[in-house]
Amino acid sequence: MDGTLRRQIRIGMEVAIVLKKDQGTGRLTHGVVESILTKSDHHPHGIKVRLTDGQVGRVKEIRMVREEPKVSDK
């Protein structure tokens, strides 16, 4: 997934983003999504997110989905 659709991105996902300062080189920064900043459903350059370490950039790759442990009622 390329990160241009908001519905594909969830808090807690591991993603690769391009920071504003790295747009010229396309260097990717990896991290976990803390919040989704883009309000629209789609953005051609990637949905803007804030990572848990505070860095902000546009999603270029969705690396993996982190699953929360399931709690059993038993």
Q: Tell me the domain boundaries of the chain.
A: 6-64
Specify whether the CB–CB gap between 29 and 18 falls below 8 A: yes
Cβ–Cβ < 8 Å for 33, 51: yes
Q: Which two tokens stand for residue 11?
A: 């808090």
Q: Tell me: the pLDDT tens digits for 23-47?
A: 999 999 999 999 999 999 999 999 9
pLDDT recorded at residue 2: 84
Which has the higher per-residue pLDDT, 48 or 70? 48
pTM: 0.83
In this predicted structure, what is the pLDDT of residue 52?
Answer: 97
The encoded tokens of residue 42 equal 């789609």
DSSP 3: S
CATH of domain 6-64: 2.30.30
